[in-house]
Amino acid sequence: MSNMRFPPWAIWAMLAGLAGFAAMIAASVRHNRGVRRSLFAYPYGLWMVVFTIIPLLLIGYYAFTNKAGQFTLDNFKTFWDSNYEMNKQLIELGMDPQTLGSARGTVNVDTLVYSLWMAFLCTAICLFVGYPAALFMADREFKLGSTLVILFIIPMWMNFLLRTIAWMSLLEDNGLINTILSAIGLPRMQLMYNSQAVLLGMVYNYLPFMVFPIYNALAKQDGKLSEAAMDLGASPMLTFWRVTMPLSLPGVISGITMVFMPSVTTFFIPRVLGGGNTEMFGDLIERTFLSADNWNVGSALSLIMMILILMSLTLLRKVDPEGEGGSTI
């Protein structure tokens, strides 16, 4: 059980939000002399304040304070040096960490780099596999396009956790793949509890988030543009590179963002398919909050991850300012 307590200002902020919400409803009813449809949007505003804005403020508060509520940057130093807290305690005991051979710990930074690398690989594979799939699905002459769309949607109806656990029955030592290999006389393979299994699970779960934005961008293209390019002498390949591909870039950037962000923060897939042999940044944050019961360092790690996500959203905003590639079917 965690010993952390909400700061008084957070409780007062929640109460002020509830009081403000009630006051706005009363003022709106009085001003409009009745209930209008715009009044029903107020609960969503209250939801955003209580469950989005205030939690973000709490993350910022814990990230820049210690357990006593005092301002500190030690939480971010702990991210850079995972041995910082231990070395600090050694110094308080009058010991010199350098004489004891205690060097800078790189666990947290290495975990972030590993997570970014795995997210990059997942995004690259999803783009390599997803773009041709979206291209076929958006082709008006391809009669099975709508069928492929349904095939991509159906797995998403299943719970995310169940989809990931289902891969265990395929990859484990006595799973379907190793059973088939043994039946045909081939040696069994270690398919579980490694980075390759984690990457496979990530690609499987996040591939639709790459396909649908690209499909949406391709489906909205005017086919007359490609016909005009070919009428002017462009080959099908040149038409693709000079017309189709540039017009689909908003969907590509949207898909990259939608895949990269959840990939770098995922924590359940490495736990199930990695078996504890791999740890990503999402696992580190969860372990810091729940196992180590350190909300301050966990908030600092979360804040660092939020900055990376905001950077990704900024890139999406610059490349696709109208959000044309951000929607799905």
Residue 261: which of 245, 281, 276, 244 has the closest Cα? 281
Which DSSP letter does residue 39 get? G
Average pLDDT, the chain: 82
Residue 85 tokens read as: 């807290």
Which DSSP letter does residue 187 get? P
Count the Cβ atoms, other than its own, within 10 Å of residue 87: 19
Average pLDDT of the segment spanning 274-284: 86
- Segment among 7-16, 78-87, 256-265, 301-310 with least mean pLDDT: 7-16
CB 240, CB 164: distance < 8 Å: no
Q: What is the pLDDT of residues 50-100, one digit of tens each?
A: 788 888 889 999 999 988 889 999 999 999 988 887 777 766 767 766 665
CA gap 133, 147 in Å, rounded = 12
CB 148, CB 129: distance < 8 Å: no
For 7, phi then psi, to 5°, come to -65, 150
Identify the CATH homologous superfamily for domain 108-319: MetI-like (1.10.3720.10)
CA gap 126, 135 in Å, rounded = 14
Number of continuous H segments (helices) and E segments (strands) in the chain:
17, 0
| Single-letter residue type at 307 | I
| Single-letter residue type at 246 | P
Residue-level pLDDT at 209:
92
Q: What is the pLDDT of residues 5-17, one digit of tens each?
A: 667 777 777 777 7
Model confidence band, residue 48 (pLDDT cutoffs 50, 70, 90): confident
Q: 98: helix, coil or strand?
A: coil
Residue identified by tokens 């990704």 is 312
Count the Cβ atoms, other than its own, within 10 Å of residue 83: 16
Give one DSSP letter per residue of 312-324, joined into a string.
HHHHHHHH-TT-T
Instruction: Write the CA distances from 35 to 19, 28, 39, 46, 267, integer angstroms.
Output: 19, 8, 7, 18, 45
Model confidence band, residue 104 (pLDDT cutoffs 50, 70, 90): confident
> In sequence order, which residues have a C-beta less than 8 Å from that of residue 20 and are 6 or more positions away?
none
Residue 241 tokens read as: 């590179």
Cα 16 → chain centroid: 32
Residue 281 tokens read as: 């940044």
Most confident range, picked from 88-92, 104-108, 215-219, 223-227:
215-219
